[in-house]
Amino acid sequence: MAQTPVNSLTFNGTDGTITLIAGCVAGASLLLRAVWDSLWPFVVAMLAGVVCAVTGFVDMSRGQALFSDDQMFVSVGWGLWLLCIGSVALLLGVALCAITQARNSDWTIGAELRELAGNPRELTFAIASALCAIATIILVLWAISV
């Protein structure tokens, strides 16, 4: 088998899986935010956005390094560009929403914990958010190990 720049690297296809799962985690946490008035879903979505952004920009730099200046019409694919742009848009949007909510409410960690203790529905939402955060952390560890 002839070695080309593309098949000589260790692209084994797991980066797409990582970003797809992280995107689903971000989407699930933002859907959870629609029914649960808390900052925690924003934190989970931010973590998932960071996973996508880091994966995208690392792959972008690897891919651009493959193609030298003498190959003028070759570059990384549109999906990788879309991943990087979408990740940055997700991070900016979630940051704006979180900042706006924090400014417009009297949110404190103590009030949040007291509300969780007294309301089983809020506790269910907190558990779902924690599971999304755990999934994101697992993705980060998986991305680092690959």
- Is 28 among the domain residues? yes
- Is 82 among the domain residues? yes
Note the pTM of the prediction, 2 decimals.
0.66
pLDDT (mean) for 70-80: 71
**Rounded distance between C-alpha atoms, residue 79 and residue 54, angstroms:** 15
Question: What is the structure's pLDDT at 63?
Answer: 73
**Rounded distance between C-alpha atoms, residue 72 and residue 64, angstroms:** 12
- Is 7 among the domain residues? no
- Is 4 among the domain residues? no
- Is 3 among the domain residues? no
Domain that holds residue 107: 14-145
Q: Among 37-46, 81-90, 102-111, whose mean pLDDT is lowest?
A: 102-111
Number of domains within the chain: 1
Do 63 and 76 meet the contact criterion of CB atoms below 8 Å apart?
Answer: yes
- Is 134 among the domain residues? yes
- Is 121 among the domain residues? yes
Question: What region, left, alpha or beta, does residue 88 occupy, with left being phi > 0 and alpha being psi -120 to 50 degrees?
Answer: alpha
105-121 pLDDT, tens per residue?
A: 766 666 666 666 677 77
Question: What is the structure's pLDDT at 88?
Answer: 92
- Is 50 among the domain residues? yes
